[in-house]
């Protein structure tokens, strides 16, 4: 029996997690991270996915992205997985699967929920104890939002652009936002939504998404 297609409708932001199989590392060095980022950027352009935020951890990846078409995100991840796993297996003389069965997703309301989810993503290295400041971690979108570092991968979301009248104001506003501690309940809600596929948003927004699904 074929698996039900991933529901990622065009125009709605999605929080995506891709994990290593059995929580094993998927990146062993900066060259691995750079290869993944390069193919992610190439695939996003090819299949019509705007990548607003990301963090690449040792054994998993978070993305916040908006697909231009209903199948854009699935095609991107298939493309990325095929190229990256082939490279990883060749480099480390291994065979078989690298990623957990299927990436996890949840639709995110284009509202305060989106900016909260983006903060959650960029603060991952801090929560993991890898850095003391999110700006010290190269492999996330924080430096794009906070300091204007503009990698090919980045497509800033419209809500981010409303944080200020110019780049400096937006960057300062983002640094201020990220410096605020996320409530434990907020963290739990975001984790629950992406791990179960529940929409991150208001009840009325969830009902709207359900009507689209039906």
pLDDT averaged per 10 residues in sequence order, the chain, 214 residues: 67 97 95 98 98 98 97 96 96 94 93 95 97 96 96 95 97 97 95 95 92 84
Any domain includes 135: yes
Q: Which domain holds residue 36?
A: 14-203
Closest CA to 5 of 110, 84, 75: 75
Tell me the whole-structure pTM to 2 decimals: 0.94
* Cβ neighbour number for residue 167 with a 10 Å cutoff: 12
Any domain includes 150: yes
Element (H, E) at 112: helix 112-122
- Rounded Cα distance between 99 and 111, Å, is 31
Any domain includes 1: no
Any domain includes 6: no
Any domain includes 169: yes
Any domain includes 147: yes
Q: What is the pLDDT of residues 93-123, one digit of tens each?
A: 999 999 998 899 999 999 889 999 999 999 9
Any domain includes 212: no
Any domain includes 137: yes
Which residues make Cβ contacts (< 8 Å) with residue 93, sequence separation at least 6? none
Tell me the CATH number at 85: 3.30.70.1290
Q: Domain count for the chain, please give it.
A: 1
């Amino acid at each position: 029996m074929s698996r039900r297609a991933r529901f990622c409708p065009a125009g709605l932001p999605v929080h995506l997690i891709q994990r290593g199989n059995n929580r094993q590392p998927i990146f062993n060095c900066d060259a691995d991270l750079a290869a993944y980022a390069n193919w992610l950027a190439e695939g996003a352009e090819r299949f019509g996915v705007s990548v607003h935020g990301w963090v690449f951890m040792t054994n998993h990846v978070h993305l916040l992205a908006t697909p231009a078409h209903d199948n854009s995100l699935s095609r991107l991840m298939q493309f990325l997985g095929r190229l990256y796993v082939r490279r990883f297996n060749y480099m480390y003389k291994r065979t078989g699967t690298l990623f957990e069965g299927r990436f996890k997703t949840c639709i995110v309301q284009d509202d305060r929920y989106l900016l909260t989810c983006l903060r959650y993503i960029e603060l991952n290295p801090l929560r993991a104890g890898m850095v003391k400041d999110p700006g010290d971690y190269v492999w996330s979108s924080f430096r794009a939002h906070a300091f204007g570092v503009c990698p090919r991968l980045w497509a800033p979301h419209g809500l981010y652009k409303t944080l200020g009248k110019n780049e400096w104001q937006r960057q300062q506003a983002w640094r201020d936002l990220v410096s605020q501690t996320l409530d434990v309940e907020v963290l739990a809600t975001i984790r629950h939504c992406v791990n179960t596929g529940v929409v991150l948003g208001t009840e009325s927004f969830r009902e709207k998404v359900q009507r689209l699904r039906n």
